Amino acid sequence: MNKKSRTLVITIFLVCITLLGGNHFAVSASPLQANSEAPLLTYKGTHGVEIRSYVPGYDLDKLKEIYAEFAKNTIGEEIAYLSHINLYPDYPRGTNTVGMWHGEWFRDQIAPGRYIDLFGVGDDNPYVLNTLSHEYGHHFLYYYLNKKEGITNNYLDSEYAKIRNLNHYTEIDNGDHCWSAVEIAAEDYVQLFGSPDLTRIRSYQYTPQENAHLPLAWEVPGLYDYFVNLSGLKGKEDRDAPGMPLLQLTEVTSEGLFFQWDEATDDSGEPLIYSMVGVTHPTEDSTVKYLMSITKENNCYKSSLSRRQLREDRIEDILVKLIVMDQSGNAVSNNIQIDLSHPEDYFFLMPASVLYLK
């Protein structure tokens, strides 16, 4: 590319692999050609962003509905640099690619006319709103990090990276998508500034962020305030996460591992959403392998994991995560990483933030 133009094209796209409804993401830095085909239907919302639908059967009411849900994300002056959102019914880049944000820099500033592609759009796709929020998170953060801190691409130079403690982890930007700083930041946008309606998506309830090794956004001291100061925006009306309950491994038998925790507290008084997952290969990736059932007795919750299933799947160690989410999508978690060769050693451990450090 001609250096005299001082234009750096950065295209970020989201790769989604569904396994028990979980998401896995990846990044590309290659420029892409805009679609030259005429959309079947368009709708321009109140922010001036146009939805362009290539989905047969989608009527104007459907486009208005998608836009209305999109507008529930936290939006500020950065929206002026987003031109449109494309909806496609197919997967031109493969079934794992469900969304892309097309970024471009001109003279060290974000260029106007940015846009988002959403793939596999249809009534049977529950991830569209989650994908859209994540992709808009890229747009949001690239804009404000550039405006306030002069960051164009290297997030590790940002104040955000310091607060998120990203430079502590040797895995950051090592090529694995879940350790990409820009992807972690977009996931933080979804959690802190995203639409509260994302709680309707079951996969978001138990995977509010891709990287299982890092604390959730609401667990990072000062991160929400940083987003507020960076953008000048307040985010969701509910700005408090639930209290973090104590997750305990209470029994180990030949049949299973048994866990329990007490009911969490929350300022809203609304019912909380509990999810228990088993994450395999916790030192390599964040694949949600097991979605565990939950029962309640009085104010005590219980869950279990089958040892037979673990043996059949040849799992040697597992990260068990309890995610507690309020009705606005604010979430906290407790975690126990268990070596299955001697699980009894993990009785009554009190998970804490230090368990995230390496």
Question: Looking at the whole model, is its pTM more than 0.75?
Answer: yes
Q: Considering only the top CATH level, what class is 247-346?
A: mainly beta
Would you state the pLDDT for residue 11?
Answer: 39
Q: Do 345 and 233 meet the contact criterion of CB atoms below 8 Å apart? A: no
Two domains, one topology: 41-231 and 247-346? no
pLDDT digits 0-9 by tens, 234-257: 888 888 899 988 999 999 999 999
112 contacts: CB under 8 Å, gap ≥ 6 = 80, 81, 83
Kindly calculate the radius of gyration of the chain based on its CA atoms and give it in whole angstroms: 21
pLDDT digits 0-9 by tens, 314-350: 888 899 999 999 999 999 999 999 999 888 888 765 4
DSSP E strands, the chain: 7-15, 41-44, 50-53, 82-87, 97-106, 109-110, 114-118, 248-252, 256-262, 273-280, 288-292, 294-297, 300-306, 317-325, 331-339
Fold of 41-231: Collagenase (Catalytic Domain) (3.40.390)
Ranges in the chain, pLDDT < 50: 1-32, 350-358
Would you state the pLDDT for residue 287?
Answer: 67
Would you state the pLDDT for residue 35?
Answer: 65
How would you classify residue 57: left for phi > 0, otherwise alpha for psi between -120 and 50, otherwise beta?
left
Read off the DSSP letter of residue 3: G
Q: Name the burial class of residue 101, with classes exposed (0-12), middle (13-18) and buried (19+) by CB atoms within 10 angstroms of its CB.
A: buried
Domain boundaries defined on the chain: 41-231, 247-346
The letter for the amino acid at 168 is: H
Read off the DSSP letter of residue 67: H
